[in-house]
Amino acid sequence: MVKITVDGKVLEVDESKNLLEEVLSQGEDLPYFCWHPSMGSVGSCRQCAVIEYANDEDECGRLNMACMTSPREGARYSIEKASKFRAQAIESIMINHPHDCPVCEEGGECHLQDMTVMSGHNYRRYDGKKKTHTNQYLGPFIGHEMNRCITCYRCVRFYKDYAGGTDFGPQASHDNTYFGRWQEGPLESEFSGNLAEVCPTGVFTDKPFSKHYVRKWDLQTAPSVCTGCSVGCNTNPGERYGTLRRVVNRFNDEVNGYFLCDRGRFGTGYVNGDERITVSMTRTAHDVAPHLASTDEARAQLQAMAANGIGIGSPRASLEANFALKELVGAENFYAGISANELAMSKQILDIYRSRPVNIASIKDIEASDAVLILGEDVTNTAARLALALRQSVRNLGKKMARDMKFPEWQDAAIRQLTMDRKSPLYILSAHATRLDDIAARVEIGTAADSARLGFAIAHEIDSSAPAVHDLNADEKAQVTTIANALKEAGQPLIISGTGAMSQALIAAAANIATALNDGDKKANLALVSAEANSMGLALLMENSSNSLDDAIASKAKAAIVLENDLYRRAPGSSVDSFIGSLDQLAVLESLKTRTGEQANLVLAAGTFAETSGTFVNYEVRAQHYYSVFKPVEAIRPSTFWLSDKKLSELTQSCADSISGGEGIASLTPGAGFSFSGMKVPRQQHRYSGRTAMRANINVHEPKQEQDEEGILTYSMEGVSALKDATVFNTAWAGGWNSNQSVFKFQTHTGGALKQAGHGHCLVQSTATEKSWSDLVETEKPDGDFEVFPLYHLFGSEELTAKTDAIKEKATSAYIAINQADAGKLGLQASDGVSVEHNGAVPYIIRSSIAPGTVGVPVGLQGLNFRDLPAAIALAKAADWTSPSEWQAGNIIVSDKAPVNVENGGEA
Amino acid sequence: MLKIFLHQLNIIWSQIVSLWLVFLHLFHESDTVEYPDVKPHMFPRWRGRIILTRDPDGEERCVACNLCAVACPVDCIALQKTEDEDGRWYPEFFRINFSRCIMCGFCEEACPTHAIQLTPDFEMAEYVRQDMVWEKEHMLIDGTGKYHDYNFYKVAGKAIGGKGKGEALDELPPTDRRSLMP
């Protein structure tokens, strides 16, 4: 820490950070555009100018950009004295800025508006003509309005430098500078949505949001957690007039930081979709027409069914809802709504986290790792935010080089120049090429069994007490040695695997490697990705039971209650058919229409994440609370309401009591009795408009404000904002800082933890010190022509988000992926389909990375149930083939290094 | 006694004078305006009934920017943005609850397109309060209101049907992004 003087004020600041960051941390207002806490400084916008004085006698000083300045001990700076320069700089930036604010989606949360006001540039003096640019179509997610650009280069620095995108960049020069794709078309990066938040003005805007746009101040928001995958990114969804309008990032320094993936940001439209169940229906038999059920009637019927029925839980329902169902039907009648293998994997992960001397890696840990091994998990598609973190981890070599040369880490452009294309090592063992291959030191293609075998060998190579693998060939031995050495040399090695490959051996191998890397004082990072938002929560509830969906199907129960789960996505269709057929009574609690729900006797309208509160447990067993954003129509109720008489807070407390190590769950919220000076936290901002007119068309007499029984947030604008009380962080807003850039006002230190400390609570801390090993599992090669491995799609593989219009535009229907040679053997021509054993015919694509004799089958896409397929299948050319209309080969973005020949009209 | 008598006389006298003066008024010009048969003159800047106007081309001026709604101190304006096939923004619905409106005119001041305007019409009383909730179709007039020439989209950079990039006021034609010339 050094002492500096800014405008006469003595500040104590960190000299390893830049002056801008430090000045902001101290609560001063200093305009900026190009600097971003996650992306460092490049000094291109000239907005954060300050005067730096050479010594105490110096009265003139010199102009410096604060973001490119390291604070010097005892130095004197002035923000005030450089204000004229900043006003002039912004005036020149604004020369070509169009008169668009009223019709711009950024208006009201525009960093450019804020900074212009802050710098004091009020009136346009320039009367020349404005430069204009044409726009591009950039896909269903992002709108483009190039006229508004101020050339701060943030978009490129995020899209290319930070997120590794290749199809977007700066073009031309001077006033002609243009940011776009080389030709019109959808942005390929899975993180393109962040452009809308990174861009300080309205060049890149949220397109689905624009379709039903309202200003930021009119959105009713609440802290929420993304349900798209097991990462549990913190989000801030906004509602207006009873529909969910958009999702933006909610900062959490240990989980998602400043960024979200496109599935999480754009995949929530289903909440307003046509497929919502908005009323509860009941019928006496399968072949009788259903009729409306009142709330009391529906609850009474459910209670009656629970008396002698079983309950089937869900990895996408909250911890409380699963717990309530478990309590309702009794622990012995409660079944996890996932296959036996998946349940075993979740429990295996819990066991590994508890019993191995490893560090459970948060995203912050992943970003800090300097050698990475990914075992069979396609993280870009199963836990996308991790992929973004991994792209930062390979930059740690550059940061180390910078440290050695004694220049600061925030010098972004300089470090990139220094590093060139040198990277920290990242190794991938996978059944196919993944989107991270471009940053990988080496990619080893093999089935999950092959990867697991190599993994065990690596563990043995690092620590010889780990189980050994015999009969490795020379190539494999060399591989193993290289990877083992790289991991051993690293200061903070990271092993990533997960349930994606559906292989317990693979997870065991990952655990062994991480264990082997423990040398007493260094703990290796281990991240084991689970399948869904609350997979680990479900596993926590199943600790004393091994009841999986397979057991439920075999249970011969006569009545079943299914909680937010479509069984047809979890088990072979035929066995679900016979299970439902054998039931007398089936109750389904669901928010969207599903095939399971269609066959139910009783369907209860359940709320989505936006309409309910609860707890999700992410891949690192971090419990996080999400709050309901708005109250849905009367008939839609939270699953917890249908299943239990208890209040949510009581259910949360019971969960905390019943789960071993779950004490932290109860302290995730300030509690129902919370108040600050007699006030709660408002969901609406202080500028919320139209309150006396929005319902006036129905009745001019305004109804009483909606009440929230949980009693922490209110459905109103009355209350105390997060700026005053650091309890619940809702929307980022501070005086003069209307955009999301204001988040630094809520952080203990710019870019650091929130004052609210709303990290969630990690329920498992690995305290083990003794090494223990998983035994080597030799998997038999399955019988059949083609060995099946799962392929995941960020857009389409997840059940709920796939029902959102914008996601549908980026998704495709089912297909299979095979090797060129295999396609030749099957005699496939470009426009042929492939008939898949146990399934109908589907289109195919050729991927050069796929090993001969294996076939990639997508999970969750329409037209193929992965669970119907055995471990190996036969393929044949389909007769009389026409592609289904949902087949959009162009949406499949692969990164096989060798040129890929995607047939059937696709390109990649 | 005399004092009381004089006092009484004074009262009678003043009543006679009053009657006389009232009588004289019969021959004066009347000050009473025969409202509603005769309408008073209202000045153009009087803040009365709120209207939505059209631009000189006859298109809706309101771009649903929400500034009127946020400026409204009683929160009596609610609207929703939508977009037509030409890319013009306009309100899907635009509702003012006049039973809450205090005729402050902040909405007009906030309006960046001169769409919302207050007019000298003050006759807004209703027997049923629900009738004081006005929708866009009740407020949208066919003319430009008080401001005749302003056409927001001629000034804005956003392209709409019939006006491409670079065709607004004081704009250069779109740049060529493949050019390396400065």
Q: Is the peptide bond before B73 cis (omega within 30 degrees of 0)?
A: no
Chain B interface, best mutation among A104, A132, A137, by max B CB count within 10 A: A132
Residues of A in contact with B129 (CB under 8 A): 700-701
Mean pLDDT in residue range B87-97: 96
Mean pLDDT in residue range A376-391: 95
Nearest Cα to Cα of residue A222 among A708, A748, A868:
A708
Question: How many angstroms separate the CA atoms of B134 and B71, rounded?
Answer: 18
Could you read off the pLDDT of B33-74 as tens digits, one per residue? Answer: 888 898 888 998 999 999 999 999 999 999 999 999 999 999
Q: Which of A104, A691, A700 sits opposite B132 (nearest CB)?
A: A700
| CB-defined contacts A:B, below 8 A | 150
Q: Hey, is the C-beta of B62 within 8 angstroms of any chain A C-beta?
A: no
Nearest residue of chain A to residue B158 (CA atoms): A100
Tokens 């264990």 belong to residue? A515
Chain A interface, best mutation among B133, B160, B175, by max A CB count within 10 A: B175
The pLDDT score that the predictor gives to residue A689 is 95
The pLDDT score that the predictor gives to residue B136 is 96
Report phi then psi at A540, rounded to 5. Answer: -65, -35
Mean pLDDT in residue range A268-279: 94
Radius of gyration of chain B (CA): 28
Could A132 and B67 be called an inter-chain contact, meaning their C-beta atoms sit closer than 8 Å?
no
Output b/e per residue, A560-587; b: 16+ Cβ within 10 A: bbbbbbbbbbbbbbebbeebbeebebbb
Q: What's the topology of domain A2-92?
A: Ubiquitin-like (UB roll) (3.10.20)
State how beta strands A310-312 and A559-563 pair: parallel
Taking the mean position of all CA atoms in its chain, how far away is CA A331? 32
Question: How many angstroms separate the CA atoms of A422 and A824, rounded?
Answer: 39
Structure tokens given for A673: 């009795």
Give Cβ neighbours of residue B52 (< 8 Å, ≥ 6 apart): B60, B61, B62, B94, B115, B116, B117, B136, B139, B140, B141
Residues of A in contact with B67 (CB under 8 A): 102
Mean pLDDT in residue range A443-457: 93
Q: Which of residues 125-154 of B touch A (CB under 8 A)?
A: 129-130, 132-133, 135, 152
Question: How many angstroms separate the CA atoms of A216 and A714, rounded?
Answer: 18
Specify the 3-state DSSP secondary structure of A415: helix
Residue boundaries of the structural domains of chain A: 2-92, 281-341+537-713, 343-530, 786-891
Could you read off the pLDDT of A415-448 as tens digits, one per residue? Answer: 999 999 899 999 999 999 999 999 999 999 999 9
Question: How many angstroms separate the CA atoms of A663 and A761, rounded?
Answer: 9
Give Cβ neighbours of residue B29 (< 8 Å, ≥ 6 apart): none
Question: How many angstroms separate the CA atoms of A647 and B176, rounded?
Answer: 62
Q: Hey, is the C-beta of B160 within 8 angstroms of any chain A C-beta?
A: no
Task: Name the more confident of A831 and A263.
Answer: A263
Q: Hey, is the C-beta of B166 within 8 angstroms of any chain A C-beta?
A: yes
Report phi then psi at A632, rounded to 5. Answer: -80, -175
Q: Which of A127, A172, A241 sits opposite B179 (nearest CB)?
A: A172
CATH number of A343-530: 3.40.228.10
CA distance A113 to chain B (A): 15
Nearest Cα to Cα of residue A758 among A737, A730, A717:
A730
- A363 membership: H or E segment, kind and range: helix A363-368
Predicted confidence band at A903 (pLDDT cuts at 50, 70, 90)?
very low
Structure tokens given for A892: 């499949």
DSSP characters for A255-268?
A: TTBT---HHHHHTT
CA distance B145 to chain A (A): 20
Residues of A in contact with B74 (CB under 8 A): 692
Could you read off the pLDDT of B151-173 as tens digits, one per residue? Answer: 999 999 999 999 999 999 999 99
Predicted confidence band at A902 (pLDDT cuts at 50, 70, 90)?
very low
Count CA atoms within 13 Å of residue B146 on its CB side.
16
Output the average pLDDT for chain B.
93
Predicted confidence band at A168 (pLDDT cuts at 50, 70, 90)?
very high
CATH class of segment(s) A281-341+537-713: alpha beta
The pLDDT score that the predictor gives to residue A678 is 84
**What pTM value is reported for the model?**
0.93
Please, what is the end-to-end C-alpha distance for chain A in angstroms?
51
Report phi then psi at A824, rounded to 5. Answer: -60, -45
Count CA atoms within 13 Å of residue B170 on its CB side.
12
ipTM of this complex: 0.91
Give Cβ neighbours of residue A383 (< 8 Å, ≥ 6 apart): A229, A230, A231, A377, A498, A529, A619
Could A132 and B133 be called an inter-chain contact, meaning their C-beta atoms sit closer than 8 Å?
no
Question: How many angstroms separate the CA atoms of A361 and B50, rounded?
Answer: 60
Residue A473 CB coordination number (10 Å): 8
Q: Hey, is the C-beta of B182 within 8 angstroms of any chain A C-beta?
A: yes
Output b/e per residue, A747-765; b: 16+ Cβ within 10 A: bebbbebbbbebbbbbbbe
Above 60 in pLDDT, residue B144?
yes
Structure tokens given for A879: 């007769």
Could B182 and A174 be called an inter-chain contact, meaning their C-beta atoms sit closer than 8 Å?
yes
Could A699 and B130 be called an inter-chain contact, meaning their C-beta atoms sit closer than 8 Å?
yes
The pLDDT score that the predictor gives to residue A900 is 42
- The answer as to CATH 3.30.70.3270 being correct for domain B50-147 is yes
Weakest mean pLDDT among A501-510, A513-522, A751-760, A768-777: A751-760
Could you read off the pLDDT of A644-670 as tens digits, one per residue? Answer: 999 999 999 999 999 988 888 988 888
Could you read off the pLDDT of A275-290 as tens digits, one per residue? Answer: 999 999 999 887 888 9
- A248 membership: H or E segment, kind and range: strand A243-249
Q: Which of A108, A215, A696 sits opposite B95 (nearest CB)?
A: A696
Residue A482 CB coordination number (10 Å): 16
The pLDDT score that the predictor gives to residue A726 is 64
Predicted confidence band at B79 (pLDDT cuts at 50, 70, 90)?
very high
Find out whether A86 and A54 touch, Cβ atoms under 8 Å: no
The CATH number of A786-891, from 3.40.309.10, 1.10.3720.10, 2.40.40.20, 3.50.50.60, is: 2.40.40.20
Nearest Cα to Cα of residue A43 among A20, A59, A22, A24:
A20
Chain A interface, best mutation among B50, B66, B98, by max A CB count within 10 A: B66
Percent residues over pLDDT 70 in chain A: 98
Residue boundaries of the structural domains of chain B: 50-147
The pLDDT score that the predictor gives to residue A908 is 36
CA distance A144 to chain B (A): 11
Weakest mean pLDDT among A226-235, A431-440, A895-904: A895-904
Predicted confidence band at A175 (pLDDT cuts at 50, 70, 90)?
confident
Nearest residue of chain A to residue B131 (CA atoms): A700
Residues of A in contact with B152 (CB under 8 A): 102
Q: Which of B99, B173, B177 sits opposite A700 (nearest CB)?
A: B99
Question: How many angstroms separate the CA atoms of A53 and A51, rounded?
Answer: 6
CA distance B155 to chain A (A): 7
Could B178 and A131 be called an inter-chain contact, meaning their C-beta atoms sit closer than 8 Å?
no
Residues of B in contact with A104 (CB under 8 A): 158
Find out whether B65 and A214 touch, Cβ atoms under 8 Å: no
Could A102 and B170 be called an inter-chain contact, meaning their C-beta atoms sit closer than 8 Å?
no
Structure tokens given for A184: 């019109």
Residues of A in contact with B65 (CB under 8 A): 101-103, 107
Mean pLDDT in residue range B5-17: 95
Q: Hey, is the C-beta of B124 within 8 angstroms of any chain A C-beta?
A: no
